[in-house]
């Protein structure tokens, strides 16, 4: 399986993504030929080599012909093309069906974000860069480019959020722009101390729409890497987007906890460990605390006995959570325990892909979790809550129901 990792250490935009694809070996002529399937004329895409703080990168440039630019201003489009118009162009193109579906999804996500900010339906939103031509070329070009390079799955680093302000068609806006903030709901970010825009709306929409997950670079056998250049320059920070492409063998790199199939899911590469030490908590509050952590989104939570300063016995509370639930789990810990704060660390993990199957026992149906490595079953575990409930109903020990469920799973699935 060919995968790619988009490392946005300085930011991401549509032209940076196109430049990185070209720098990885995508042929400009092949990209132009696919983009020519759009019912849009009067544009041109070119590429050139540039240097950003000593790193050689490819800069992709989209320009309009004089006729198109003139028509854009003289025929009532001074506010840009609408999202619905751009989507219509893609849907009426001769591009492959999967490209059309993915590109229109990304365009609508842009429209929804802009519409939310401006208080209007997404179909009425207008894009201003080059009257929308730039947007459609960036979006379709990114989807087409990954397909031409044979990339099946894309992962992305957390996105860098800078500060400052930018001038646009609506006036002066804060950085990151409101549409970017809307697009990045639930997406891992990190602060970057530079003045100016690092993540554009198109760049954010591409990252969210194309990436299977956000985190560290996934395990792969590296085949190619490339750098796409942005238009701005910052001192001592190369304004480039790095794209790494390689092969991975799913059977050797199994999936994330809670995810069916093979590895990819939102938490496939990383999980956040949240910890705090508790030396003054009433033990009666502990079961509720652990329940609240899991209700807030923790994949697991537990207590470990520790000894703190002056020999005081205490507990260490540990919770595991994906990025999007770190805040809610942390809040639950602070609210339902006696701690004054929590600490974080990021861990990489490898977990068997798993699936849930239901087996019949003489006590009733029980859900069994199956862990697989490739097509081979590695482990089976009945869900204890099912066993406990059926045991109460039948008036038998829970271990008896558990054993019956495990035997039924072996008979049904083999091992």
SS3 169: coil
Residue 331 contacts by C-beta under 8 Å, 6 or more apart in sequence?
296
Estimate the crossing angle of helix 97-118 against helix 201-210, to 10 degrees.
130
pLDDT for 64 equals: 80
pLDDT for 68 equals: 55
Q: Are 261 and 272 in contact (CB under 8 A)?
A: no
Residue 97 contacts by C-beta under 8 Å, 6 or more apart in sequence?
none
Burial of 249: CB neighbours in 10 Å, binned 0-12, 13-18, 19+: exposed
| Separation between Cα atoms, residue 155 and residue 163, nearest integer Å | 25
Residue 64 contacts by C-beta under 8 Å, 6 or more apart in sequence?
42, 43, 44, 72, 130, 131, 133
Instruction: List, in sequence order, every beta strand (DSSP E) within 28-134.
Output: 43-52, 55-64, 81-82, 126-127
- Report which DSSP code applies to 308: -
> Mean pLDDT per segment of 10 residues, for the chain of length 415 residues?
94 96 97 95 93 95 68 43 88 95 94 83 66 86 97 93 79 85 88 92 94 83 95 91 86 40 42 92 93 93 92 93 86 94 82 84 94 81 94 95 94 77
307-322 in b/e form (b: 16+ CB < 10 A) is: eeeeeeebbebbbbbb
Q: What is the DSSP pairing of strand 221-229 with strand 364-373? A: unpaired
Tokens of 229: 């250049």
pLDDT for 415 equals: 61
| Separation between Cα atoms, residue 28 and residue 34, nearest integer Å | 10
Q: Are 98 and 152 in contact (CB under 8 A)?
A: no
Domains of the chain, first to last:
2-252 (no CATH), 270-348 (3.30.70.1380), 354-413 (3.10.20.300)
């Amino acid at each position: 399986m060919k995968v790619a990792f988009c490392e946005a250490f300085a930011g991401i935009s549509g032209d940076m993504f196109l430049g990185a694809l070209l720098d990885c070996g995508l042929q400009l002529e092949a990209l132009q030929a696919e983009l020519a399937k759009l019912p849009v004329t009067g544009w041109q895409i070119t590429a050139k080599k540039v240097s950003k703080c000593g790193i050689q990168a490819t800069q992709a440039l989209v320009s309009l012909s004089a006729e198109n630019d003139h028509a854009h201003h003289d025929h009532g489009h001074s506010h840009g093309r609408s999202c619905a118009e751009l989507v219509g162009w893609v849907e009426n193109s001769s591009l492959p069906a999967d490209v059309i579906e993915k590109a229109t999804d990304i365009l609508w996500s842009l429209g929804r974000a802009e519409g939310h900010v401006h208080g209007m339906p997404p179909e009425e939103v207008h894009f201003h860069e080059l009257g929308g031509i730039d947007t459609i070329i960036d979006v379709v070009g990114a989807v087409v480019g990954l397909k031409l390079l044979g990339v099946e799955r894309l992962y992305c680093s957390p996105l860098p959020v800078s500060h400052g302000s930018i001038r646009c068609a609506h006036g002066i806006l804060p950085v990151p722009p409101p549409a970017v903030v809307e697009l990045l709901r639930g997406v891992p970010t990190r602060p970057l101390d530079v003045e100016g825009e690092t993540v554009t709306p198109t760049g954010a929409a591409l990252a969210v729409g194309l990436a299977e997950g956000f985190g560290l670079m996934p395990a792969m056998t590296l085949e190619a890497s490339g750098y796409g250049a942005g238009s701005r320059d910052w001192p001592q920070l190369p304004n480039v987007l790095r794209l790494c492409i390689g092969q991975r063998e799913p059977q050797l790199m199994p999936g994330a906890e809670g995810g069916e199939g093979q590895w990819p899911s939102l938490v496939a590469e990383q999980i956040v460990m949240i910890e705090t030490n508790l030396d003054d908590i009433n033990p009666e509050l502990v079961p509720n605390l652990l329940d609240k952590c899991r209700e807030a989104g923790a994949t697991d939570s537990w207590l470990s006995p520790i000894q703190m300063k002056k020999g005081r016995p205490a507990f260490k509370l540990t919770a595991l959570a994906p990025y999007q639930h770190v805040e809610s789990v942390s809040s639950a810990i602070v609210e339902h325990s006696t701690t004054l704060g929590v600490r974080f660390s990021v861990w990489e993990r490898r977990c068997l892909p798993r699936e849930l199957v239901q087996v019949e026992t003489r006590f009733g149906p029980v859900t069994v979790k199956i862990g697989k490595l490739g097509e081979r079953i590695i482990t089976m575990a009945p869900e204890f809550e099912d066993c406990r409930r059926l045991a109460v109903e039948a008036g038998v020990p829970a271990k008896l129901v558990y054993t019956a469920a495990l035997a039924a799973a072996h008979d049904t699935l083999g091992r």
